[in-house]
Structure 1
Amino acid sequence: MGRAEERRARQARGRRAAPQRSSGATAGGAAGGKTRRSGIRRFVNWKTILGTFFGLCLLGMGAFIVLYMVVGVPEGNAAARQQSNIYQYSDGSLLARTGDVNREIVDLDKVPKGVQKTFVAAENKSFYKDAGVDLKGTARGLINTLSGKGKQGGSTITQQYVKNYYLSQDQTVTRKLKELVISLKVDRQKSKDDILAGYINTSYYGEGAYGIQAAAQAYYGVDASELSVEQGAYLASLLQAPSQYDWANATDTGKKLVKARWNYTLDNMVEEGWLDSAERQTMKFPVPDPPKAAPGMQGQTGYLVKAAESALAKQLLAQGAASSLDDAQAMVNAGGWTVKLNIDKKKQSLLEKTVKAQLTSKLNPKKRKVDADIQAGAASVDPKTGKVLAMYGGQDYVKHYYNNATRRDYQVASTFKPLIFAAALDKQAETQSGKPITANTIYDGTNRRPVVGSDIGFAPPNEDEHSYGNVTVQTATNKSINSVFAQMGVDVGMDEVLKVASDLGMDTKGLQAVPAQTLGSMGASPLEMAGVYATLDNHGKKVTPALIASAEHKDRAVEFPDPIGDQVISEEAADTVTSVLTGVVDDGTARVAVRDNPARDGQQVAGKTGTSDNNKSAWFTGYTPNLVTSVGLFGEGAVGTANAGKHVSMKGATGLVAENGRVNGGGFPAQIWAAYTFDAMGKVSKFDLDTTSGAAVEPTETPTFTRTPSSTPSSTPTTEEPSTEPPTSSSPPTPTEEPTTTEPTTTNPTTPTGTPTDGIPDNPLDPNSQ
């Protein structure tokens, strides 16, 4: 047998013998071969473990890439964008903060650099170097979430900003994965300063404060721009546990923890080179101020805020920032506005106290039901600047939301008469007999005397049916004689009267040019009338009352027009009206409350009273050279009564019995005006008038008559202004009730027996007329 064949035989024998080996081989057998693995051990070895690990890594990377591609940066959530509006007095002090969320976003450059660094030192020292995420912290958070251990810290500032602004506070794996992806993208898309600004403006600091500006105000009573590094370090420390670290409510343990956190923050700043170590040693923990409730809407605050909101919305619409008033209002309500009002804090307080002292303290609804129906409104304007310095909207906004200073649903009554005279002077109108209308022109003041020269019959009653006979325009203004101004309106032309009234600042849209309007049957607000009289005070240059001084928003700019406009009537016409109106105070319906007031101290005053139909409103609008104020009292059915919200009579209020219980313009309105004005006006001043007629100057001519009247007044004139009872109603619709308007009779009036006088048209019913 050859060698090859022998070798093949041995190999064959070996193959046949192999299956007979037992697993328990001898030492020699073990040394000469390998044992075979059975079961799972065949597949688990270092190669499969390593392969599985890399496979999972590749799978995870692939899944992350897909997630990165699928998840985009969303719009910021509505809650994070919502801000409060800040309203300030003219001196910059806080009037109110409105909105469901107490937040005011500020630009980062408004926050001191040192304060900025306190947040980085407290939360994320590597903020300026990292890619926006903390992988270890995120992984730890995911594991704790999966294991049910709850909230896990350690996120970067970017991640916390993303959670606050783009996502929610939910503790879910999905939210955490989204947070990771969005944080990476945001870090690439935004600068670190933008991210830091977003973080400090969206974080919650406790005390109901969202954002650093609200927190600065809540804890230290300052703006974010005025924070010190010590104060900033406390606010930054709060973010870890706002409720636990809030000094006012913290336990002793909480106070120790927040102090430790404060020290940790400052020490990190030193370590990073952001704070000098010597300066650090001198710093003391800044104990926050006692918490203050955010200003509410009680009292006058609500009236001022709502009036400012309305004014801002109207201006946004006017400048084209919104397509409708509703859209403009939505822009205001979205928040983020800092609105400074022209309201003078001292004058505002004075007006509130004056109304209380002169009126509301005397009302007793439990004793007299009518007292519950009395509403007061007032507005005070600087005639040289147009600034609204004070406003009284009612006793309390939360109890009576309707602003009595801006409502237009009550008749202005005789406060309209000066506008008729202003139109006569500016248009150089003449009487029916061709005589120029001046302060010395003679008119017939007979009660219910029919007007002449009008296609519409009108014979208005004077108050209490008094007849005055022949009087000058000055006297007719002092005594507020209806019959005189009804005829004057016809002489001027009612269309011209309404045009001049509009030019002066009254809203006359929709009014009919009929003689009845001479009685002030239209509605207007105290603020509106203050603007009209301010234009007269300003020598005929238009004054539009301006409630807002400025309105700032980070996303848009608002420019307000100049409150002082063009010359709308001649200076001489305006000054002559002012001169005549001084007579109302010195020898007319306001003399008791104003002329004889001991606080007057020689102050020159012009003004006009007004009492409307059935005593549903009473007015005094008056002015000095530097201050115009309009005060109105309105009868409004009290809540819970059958007449709730309706226009009702004020007769008998506060227990008045004289003058049939009427609340006249020369009463409470004039008293409020005088007490407020003489305290608020400053130094005594005189009118500088370009006129030669009226009560404020010595008359240069004496009234002349072409015929001597033989009639005498039927009774002694009263000192109160007449009621206004026009024949037709042209008042604008109101939210409550149209003013009552009863047509006076035009037949069988009381007539003088004499012949017409200069400036008096013939009475068609006078048997002696020619």
Structure 2
Amino acid sequence: MGRAEERRARQRGGRRAAPKSHRSSATAGKGAIRRLFTWKKILGTFFGLCLLGMGAFIVLYMVIDIPEGNADAKRQSNIYKYSDGSIMARDGKVNREVVDLSRVPKEVGRTFVAAENKTFYKDAGVDLKGTARGVVNTLSGRGAQGGSTITQQYVKNYYLTQEQTVTRKLKELVISLKLDREKSKDYILAGYINTSYYGRNAYGIQAAAQAYYRTDAEDLSVAQGAYLAALLQAPSQYDWAVASEGGKKLVKARWNYVLKNMVEEGWLSQSERDGMKFPVPKDPRPAPGMEGQKGYLVNSANATLEKQLVAEGTASNRKEAEALVNAGGWTITLNIDKKKQAALEKSVQQQLNSKLDPDKREVDADVQAGAASVNPKTGAVVAMYGGQDYFKHWSNNATRTDYQPASTFKPVILAAALEEQAKTQDGEPINARTIYDGTSKRQVMEDGSKVGFAPENEDDRDYGPISVQTAMNKSVNSVFAQMGVDVGMSDVVDVAGKLGMDTENMEAVPAQTLGSMGASPLQMAGVYATLDNHGKKVTPALVKSAEHLNQTVTMPDPVGEEVISPEAADSVTSVLTGVVDDGTAQESVRDNPGRDGQQVAGKTGTSDNNKSAWFTGYTPGLVTSVGLFGEDNKPPYKQVPMYKAAGKPRVDGGGFPARIWAEYTFGVMGDVSKFDLDTQQGAAVQPTWTPTPTQSQTEEPTQEPTTEEPSSSPPPTTEEPSSSPPPTPSTSPPTFTPPTAPETTPPTDGDPFDPVKPGDEE
């Protein structure tokens, strides 16, 4: 071999040597890892941890004994206070009568097993997977989840507390295992059904049987037992008397689930199941001391606190939150102002209840009032009216959401138009002076095509060309139906949600412009409070503070961020002063002797077929929504018309609701104040009249209000209503340019109780 070949061989050898050294280093690293994490060491560590856990559990099992039952001993009264600290009510007396399982029909007892724990008669008293999941969730801050056995739930109800801690869960596990070994299944089941909370202040099956069916536990049917068993999952949500439509569907589904499991387990034949009908519970009997408005306020305060306990993670669901609140020991201070509360109650009594006589007119027994009053600067609910008496009418009319708000929704449409800077079909900006076609039953148009919606105005009145301001004053349906489409109904719904309405089930369709969704006085008070607060979100807050021993629950701030611009909110306020000064609320609010120059904004509303009537109004410092609802006073409490109530042809938003509002507001408002508005429209509408208490609504029609800076265009003038037909409507809304001919303003509403055909809306 020559020298050159030897040199090349050495070079090749050198190049090969380097990778060999690299592989050796990597192999050494991997070997070290393998030596550190051998399968023997991993397996040994696993078994070591298991033995350690088993040892710890054995120690716990030996150390923890079954304690004495202390559920009743720990129960205390809840104290409810007005905002000034004075006592409003006390609640918390235990309503329980323990009954032996032998007195409960066997099939009824099994409904609870079918509902909560089908393996109850076979398991060892615990659900290890459910408990482990609960421990993990507690450690991670996500709260507890379901999955506990009947034994575990009984232990939690009777021996322990509802607190969400790892210690409590481990104790629950140990005690449940011991209890299952030492006691019979019948003993545990009896304890469970006798200690569980069923709602309506009923603890135990005997109290629940009386509270819901006016019978003893021994006389319960299987269908009734299945309802009580289903109820335990969410007592307040599933109580048929106060449940929403969604809650009723859920409890019916739960009831069906219980009976289905009964059939599957062979405890009930299919033929027996097929013959069962849902057993609607009877009306609740209020607890002593809850008469008048107190029961409504206490129940609403409890619901508020329960919701917050879930929100902050103290309870994982409403059922646990209810148990915590009903365990007692709470001091709950409400935002209710004692003087304003008394004034609101007095106003409803004088302006409505005293004028109803069911002995003369059956329909008078069907009229229900609800109201909520809110401070727009703080969000505090300062007064609430839930009904004539909690003993006589259990449903809170201030918070119920099953009646239509009708035309009180129109300001939301205008707010959306201003916020979205919307334009008419002709491309003109929408504001208070924009001219629309107010012809009744006019087809709503979109991009030159009909949308298949032609709403009728109140009394089928035709207004012809009319400004947005006057359309709001007169509550012209055809104008706001077109405006809703001009804005875009999805945007209208979006703004409604921002202002505080529940839009979960609100469809973005033109029919919603008539206020055909459901809403409560409390909800509408919040919407208008947000407008009054210059666009900053106001969520009405009933509870000021809640304390339990050393625990203080932090309530959320009622006043939030800006949800619509101040100019949009203030412009709506400006327009709404016209409803009072020149529209449907003239007689009841504008001319009220107690007004004393107070500036007021508001809107009336009367729903389809006169089933509800509203006035929601505000001053700079107080927002109040008053609703009247037609409800049959006999089961099943259906919505009914209020025609001829109190001897009037119909109940109108400008009548009783506005009168209740005016007497209450002007009686508690304090100093006279003016709106501070950020709008080109100035400080609202300038009517052409001077308010006097004796002025009649039959005066000469007024001039179209000027809502912007004066321009070179001549303003519309007034003239006496003529007998000539209104102008022929165009195929699309008139534009912003005022008509060259004087605008003919139809007569005002006159008597707010003028007859109206079914289906008309104000």
TM-score, structure 1 normalization: 0.58
Aligned to 1:374: 367
Q: How does 1:151-550 map to 2 (within 5 A)?
A: 296-453=289-446, 456-550=451-545
Distance 1:517 1:456 in 2: 14
Aligned to 1:205: none
Q: Are 2:568 and 1:576 aligned?
A: no
Aligned to 1:671: 659
Q: Are 2:685 and 1:695 aligned?
A: yes
CA separation of 1:707/1:386 partners in 2, compared to 1, >3 Å: closer, same or farther?
Answer: closer
Q: Which amino acid aligns with 2:521?
A: P
- Deviation (angstroms), 1:430: 0.5
Query: Aligned with 1:634: secondary structure?
Result: strand
Distance 1:465 1:444 in 2: 14
Residue of 543, 561, 584 corresponding to 1:566: 561
CA separation of 1:403/1:578 partners in 2, compared to 1, >3 Å: closer, same or farther?
Answer: same
> Is the 2:372–2:385 contact (alpha carbons within 8 Å) kept by the matching residues of 1?
yes
> Is the 1:625–1:686 contact (alpha carbons within 8 Å) kept by the matching residues of 2?
yes
Aligned to 1:586: 581
- Deviation (angstroms), 1:391: 0.2
Query: Aligned with 1:569: secondary structure?
Result: coil
Q: Which amino acid aligns with 2:653?
A: G
Aligned to 2:177: none
- Deviation (angstroms), 1:654: 0.7
> Is the 2:609–2:759 contact (alpha carbons within 8 Å) kept by the matching residues of 1?
no
Deviation digits for residues 303-340 of structure 1 (CA, Å, limit 9, x no counterpart): 00000011111111111222222221222112111100
- Deviation (angstroms), 1:456: 3.5
Q: Are 2:605 and 1:610 aligned?
A: yes
Distance 2:478 2:707 in 1: 26
Aligned to 2:214: none
> Is the 2:335–2:382 contact (alpha carbons within 8 Å) kept by the matching residues of 1?
yes
Q: Which amino acid aligns with 2:91?
A: T
Query: Aligned with 2:626: secondary structure?
Result: strand
Distance 1:349 1:295 in 2: 20
Deviation digits for residues 161-213 of structure 1 (CA, Å, limit 9, x no counterpart): xxxx99xxxxxxxxxxxxxxxxxxxxxxxxxxxxxxxxxxxxxxxxxxxxxxx
Distance 1:635 1:460 in 2: 23
Query: Aligned with 2:363: secondary structure?
Result: helix
Distance 1:488 1:502 in 2: 18
Query: Aligned with 1:664: secondary structure?
Result: coil
Distance 1:572 1:708 in 2: 27
Q: Which amino acid aligns with 2:708?
A: P
Query: Aligned with 1:349: secondary structure?
Result: helix
Distance 1:361 1:722 in 2: 18
- Deviation (angstroms), 1:706: 5.3
Aligned to 1:681: 669
RMSD of aligned alpha carbons: 2.9
Distance 2:543 2:553 in 1: 11
Structure 2: give runs of 5+ residues left out of the alignment. 1-61, 96-157, 160-286, 687-705, 716-734
Query: Aligned with 2:552: secondary structure?
Result: coil
Deviation digits for residues 224-279 of structure 1 (CA, Å, limit 9, x no counterpart): xxxxxxxxxxxxxxxxxxxxxxxxxxxxxxxxxxxxxxxxxxxxxxxxxxxxxxxx
Aligned to 1:279: none
- Deviation (angstroms), 1:639: 2.3
Query: Aligned with 2:553: secondary structure?
Result: coil
Q: Which amino acid aligns with 1:695?
A: V
CA separation of 1:491/1:71 partners in 2, compared to 1, >3 Å: closer, same or farther?
Answer: closer
- Deviation (angstroms), 1:700: 1.1
The structure having more radius of gyration, on CA atoms, is 1
Deviates more, 1:77-86 or 1:413-422: 77-86
Distance 1:366 1:353 in 2: 22
Distance 2:361 2:406 in 1: 26
Query: Aligned with 1:557: secondary structure?
Result: strand
Query: Aligned with 2:480: secondary structure?
Result: helix
> Is the 1:337–1:551 contact (alpha carbons within 8 Å) kept by the matching residues of 2?
yes
Query: Aligned with 1:376: secondary structure?
Result: strand
Query: Aligned with 1:450: secondary structure?
Result: coil
TM-score, structure 2 normalization: 0.58
- Deviation (angstroms), 1:699: 3.2
Query: Aligned with 1:354: secondary structure?
Result: helix
> Is the 2:457–2:760 contact (alpha carbons within 8 Å) kept by the matching residues of 1?
no
- Deviation (angstroms), 1:638: 1.1
Distance 1:599 1:343 in 2: 23
Query: Aligned with 1:699: secondary structure?
Result: coil
Distance 1:684 1:711 in 2: 36
CA separation of 1:72/1:447 partners in 2, compared to 1, >3 Å: closer, same or farther?
Answer: closer
**Across the two proteins, how many residue pairs are aligned to each other?**
466
Distance 1:428 1:81 in 2: 59
> Is the 2:333–2:546 contact (alpha carbons within 8 Å) kept by the matching residues of 1?
yes
- Deviation (angstroms), 1:100: 1.7
- Deviation (angstroms), 1:74: 2.2
Distance 1:629 1:522 in 2: 20
Q: How does 1:102-121 map to 2 (within 5 A)?
A: none
> Is the 1:370–1:653 contact (alpha carbons within 8 Å) kept by the matching residues of 2?
yes
> Is the 1:364–1:372 contact (alpha carbons within 8 Å) kept by the matching residues of 2?
yes
Distance 2:736 2:528 in 1: 32
